[in-house]
């Protein structure tokens, strides 16, 4: 826990909201298990504190999904003992460390399978893997027509335990129902063909957050949400699911001055005051994750009132017109993302202003924004 008194900007992480989001999900999915996506530092929320908190507060903790080796090692070293899935795979140069830390890579090629097998055997271990099938994402995975041969070989490979099979939707918001349904169908066909050959893989997973909210058929026996854990849904029914955003971001007012009408503000002189205006400089910029594309487009909240961002967002600072909040003073906080009284600005709103999606907004808040965990 770090103190607010010296911070320039703060990301408050509401751990109770996180737990409540997870409980909402649990209500929906029955006895299926959850693979919590905590890659990219848990979408900016802090992977280790998030995993530690959930581990402590759930009788059945989820499995964990990260992208890269370093993220997996950080969780293991922080005392997370459950399965940690490496979603991008196992580069040959990392196989030794993956085996040493008992991480579980996603695999999709024979060379990696053999390298993992040799290393696991040498360490007198069995390494768990999940096989990825590319049903239409065009990114990682074996094509469905090649899956059977690969998996038949994998289950016979010494030192390898085939724990899971997965695929991934190309539309994170399930926008094209026909294509999305076709992907699930292709995945189910592979699972079915394997079962016909007597191969039943323990974990079968494809459902991201949008599928958890809107596509029950895709649940299979393990769901794999990221965004909704942090309080958002990209299919517009966050309220129906009672998700609560977990992160709020506040920035400190570090300077305040009254400018005459016609004064230009910030780099490039893209904004001119229309009348005498009180301009606050706050300590949050694009190097902290407040995107430059919010220049002259977004708002913050000061003492419960919406106030406009004026001029270009700088690397470390942003200017805000606070003429309507005469009692604001240097040292006070503005809410860049969050709620104050009647007003709220969340990552999905910032994403609309910035022409991006809430994932990029959340992941963007960097280490200079001091994390403050509230439970
Ligand atoms: C392979 C994979 N599975 C699951 C997820 C989680 O998706 P969401 O955050 O939309 O739930 C991601 C997110 O990028 C992903 O890449």
Task: Check residue 310 and give its pLDDT.
Answer: 98
Structure tokens, 294? 């919010």
Q: For residue 60, how many other CB atoms are within 10 A of its CB?
A: 9
Rounded Cα–Cα distance for residues 31 and 26 (Å): 8
Provide the percentage of residues in the chain whose pLDDT is more than 70. Answer: 98
Domain boundaries, the chain: 32-230, 247-374
Residue 241 binned pLDDT confidence (cut-offs 50, 70, 90):
confident
DSSP assignment, residue 109?
Answer: -
Determine the distance separating the centroid of ligand 1 and the alpha carbon of 351, expressed in angstroms. 18
Provide the percentage of residues in the chain whose pLDDT is more than 90. Answer: 94
267 has pLDDT over 70: yes
Q: CB neighbours of 70 closer than 8 A, spacing ≥ 6?
A: none
User: 177-196 vs 144-155: helix axis angle to the nearest 10?
Assistant: 30
Task: Check residue 221 and give its pLDDT.
Answer: 97
Q: Which of 82, 138, 83, 81 is nearest to 108 (CA)?
A: 138
Determine the distance separating the centroid of ligand 1 and the alpha carbon of 173, expressed in angstroms. 11
Query: Which ligand 1 atom is at minimum distance from the Cα of 172?
Result: 10
Mean pLDDT of 27-40: 96
Domain 32-230 classification at class level? alpha beta
Give tens-digit pLDDT for 92-138: 999 999 999 999 999 999 999 999 999 999 999 999 999 999 999 99
Choose one of 21, 22, 35, 37 to mutate for the ligand 1 pocket test, by most ligand atoms within 8 angstroms of C-beta: 37
Ligand 1 in contact with 227 (CB < 6 A)? yes
Rounded Cα–Cα distance for residues 37 and 228 (Å): 10
DSSP per residue, 193-215? HHHHTT---SEEEEE-HHHHHH-
Active-site residue, 189 included: no
Mean pLDDT of 276-285: 98
Ligand 1 in contact with 13 (CB < 6 A)? no
DSSP per residue, 260-293? -TT-EESGGG-EE-SSSEEEEEES--GGGT--GG
231 has pLDDT over 90: yes
User: CA geometry: angle at 76 spanning 72 and 78, to 5°?
Assistant: 115
What pTM, to 2 d.p., does this model score?
Answer: 0.96
Task: Check residue 242 and give its pLDDT.
Answer: 86
Give tens-digit pLDDT for 304-360: 999 999 999 999 999 999 999 999 999 999 999 999 999 999 999 999 999 999 999
DSSP assignment, residue 12?
Answer: E
Q: Can you name the CATH fold of 247-374?
A: Lyase, Ornithine Decarboxylase; Chain A, domain 1 (2.40.37)
């Amino acid at each position: 826990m770090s103190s607010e008194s010296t911070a320039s900007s703060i990301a408050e992480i509401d751990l109770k909201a996180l737990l409540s989001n997870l409980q909402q999900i649990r209500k929906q999915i029955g006895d299926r298990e959850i693979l919590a996506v905590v890659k990219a530092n848990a979408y900016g929320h802090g992977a280790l504190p998030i995993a530690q908190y959930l581990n402590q507060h759930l009788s059945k903790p989820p499995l964990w999904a990260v992208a890269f080796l370093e993220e997996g090692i950080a969780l293991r070293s922080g005392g997370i003992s459950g399965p940690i899935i490496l979603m991008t795979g196992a580069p040959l140069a990392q196989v030794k460390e993956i085996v040493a830390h008992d991480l579980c890579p996603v695999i999709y090629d024979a060379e990696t399978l053999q390298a993992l097998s040799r290393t696991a055997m040498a360490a007198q271990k069995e390494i768990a893997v999940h096989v990825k099938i590319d049903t239409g994402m065009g990114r990682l995975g074996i094509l469905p027509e090649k899956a059977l041969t690969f998996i038949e070989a994998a289950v016979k490979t010494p030192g390898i335990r085939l724990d899971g099979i997965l695929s991934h939707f190309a539309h994170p918001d399930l926008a094209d129902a026909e294509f999305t349904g076709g992907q699930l169908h292709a995945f189910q066909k592979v699972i079915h063909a394997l079962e016909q050959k007597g191969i039943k893989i323990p974990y079968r997973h494809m459902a991201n957050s949008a599928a958890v909210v809107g596509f029950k058929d895709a649940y299979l026996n393990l769901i794999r949400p990221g965004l909704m854990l942090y309080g958002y849904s990209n299919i517009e029914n966050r309220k129906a699911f009672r998700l609560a955003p977990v992160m709020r971001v506040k920035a400190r007012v570090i300077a305040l001055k009254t400018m005459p009408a016609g004064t230009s503000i910030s780099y490039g002189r893209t904004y001119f005051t229309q009348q005498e205006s009180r301009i606050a400089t706050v300590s949050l910029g694009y190097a902290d994750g407040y995107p430059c594309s919010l220049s002259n487009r977004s708002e913050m909240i000061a003492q419960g009132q919406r106030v406009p961002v004026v001029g270009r967002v700088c690397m470390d600072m942003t200017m805000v017109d606070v003429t309507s909040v005469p009692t604001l003073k240097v040292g006070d906080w503005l809410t860049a993302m969050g709620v104050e009284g009647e007003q709220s600005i969340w990552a999905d709103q910032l994403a609309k202003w910035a022409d991006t999606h809430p994932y990029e907004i959340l992941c963007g808040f960097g280490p200079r924004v001091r994390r403050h965990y509230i439970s």
